[in-house]
């Protein structure tokens, strides 16, 4: 395994622009997910995402020098735990705009895992940050309806946990070719997703019908999932995590809800009532406090 290189505590401009491109792709992607789920059941859709992320690229990039176990954990966490669960949630259990917000609980999980492995202690400001964000999630839970259910909320939090596991796993892989890493990890995403689709989504005949009858737009959605989000988004995200501490990179997805809720309102006419804006504000403030309070504390002490 390659040794991890020293990580920078600041994002240079080129890395910042890359992070912004990633979150723009991820945020607007929730609209693509919702539209594509009209043609594909969720587990099949997730499986297709990783089939096209794996093939034919796997024949052109070498396997990264990391243990198979690391690739397996990342592939299952990102493929099944994140996107399998997220697609299932968006398919009738939560609106895509809210999903783009709730999934940001991954920031707490990512930094929490980093604290666990670094043996750091939980600090008061982190408890406050979690409480603020949980208040936002509580507002969402209090406004469940036909478009957003308690089950959907719980599933997206679970997806956020899986994203945190995937982030931690990729960081422990060290400084490697992240495109190669994401491609080869997809090898472990496809089999369980296919199995789940066969078991829960009507069997082989039903899945074959979905594949044959899906319109061109749905297939373009699959390719966008595979190439835009997986090969570009997660390879670039993993690369940033390998170059910088988790607390430096993790704030970038705070912008995902802005893109996600904005795109959902524009393209899907998803309403943005006051309670939804308040919930979004609380979650983002909680994440902001968790990530930036140490720097703000140092700044105040210098004044």
pLDDT tens-digit readout, 87-141: 999 999 999 988 988 898 887 787 788 777 766 667 788 788 888 888 888 888 8
Sign of the alpha-carbon torsion through 157, 203, 193, 95: negative
In 3-state terms the chain splits into helix, strand, coil percentages (rounded to 5) of: 80, 0, 20
| Residue-wise pLDDT tens digits, 203-260 | 899 999 999 999 999 999 999 989 998 888 888 887 887 787 766 776 677 778 888 8
* Residue 103: exposure state from Cβ atoms within 10 A (0-12, 13-18, ≥19): buried
pLDDT attached to residue 250: 67
Domain boundaries, the chain: 24-302
Tell me the CA distances in angstroms from 22 to 236, 244, 252, 291, one per residue in order: 8, 16, 9, 19
Q: How far apart, in whole angstroms, are the C-alpha atoms of residue 266 and residue 31?
A: 10
Distance of CA 7 to the CA centre of its chain: 22
Given the structure tokens 């043996």, which residue do they identify? 119
Exposed/middle/buried for residue 238 (C-beta within 10 Å: 0-12, 13-18, 19+): buried
The whole model's pTM is what?
A: 0.82
């Amino acid at each position: 395994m390659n040794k991890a290189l020293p990580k920078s505590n600041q994002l240079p401009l080129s890395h910042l622009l890359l992070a912004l491109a990633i979150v723009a792709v991820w945020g607007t992607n929730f609209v693509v997910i919702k539209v594509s789920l009209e043609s594909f059941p969720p587990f099949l859709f997730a499986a297709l995402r990783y089939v096209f992320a794996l093939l034919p690229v796997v024949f052109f990039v070498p396997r990264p020098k990391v243990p198979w176990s690391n690739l397996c954990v990342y592939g299952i966490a990102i493929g099944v735990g994140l996107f399998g669960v997220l697609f299932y949630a968006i398919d009738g259990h939560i609106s895509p705009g809210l999903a783009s917000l709730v999934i940001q609980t991954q920031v707490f999980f990512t930094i929490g895992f980093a604290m666990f492995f670094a043996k750091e202690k939980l600090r008061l400001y982190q408890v406050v940050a979690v409480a603020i964000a949980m208040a936002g999630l509580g507002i969402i839970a209090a406004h469940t309806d036909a478009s957003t259910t308690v089950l959907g909320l719980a599933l997206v939090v679970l997806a956020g946990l899986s994203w945190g596991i995937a982030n931690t796993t990729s960081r422990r892989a060290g400084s490697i070719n992240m495109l190669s890493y994401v491609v080869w990890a997809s090898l472990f995403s496809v089999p369980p997703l296919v199995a789940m689709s066969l078991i829960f989504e009507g069997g082989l005949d039903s899945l074959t019908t979905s594949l044959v009858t899906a319109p061109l737009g749905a297939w373009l959605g699959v390719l966008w999932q595979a190439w835009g989000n997986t090969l570009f988004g997660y390879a670039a995200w993993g690369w940033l995590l390998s170059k910088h501490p988790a607390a430096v990179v993790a704030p970038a997805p705070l912008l995902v809800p802005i893109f996600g809720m904005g795109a959902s309102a524009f393209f899907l006419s998803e309403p943005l009532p006051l309670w939804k804006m308040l919930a979004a504000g609380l979650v983002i403030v909680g994440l902001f406090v968790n990530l930036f309070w140490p720097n703000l504390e140092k700044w105040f002490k210098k004044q």
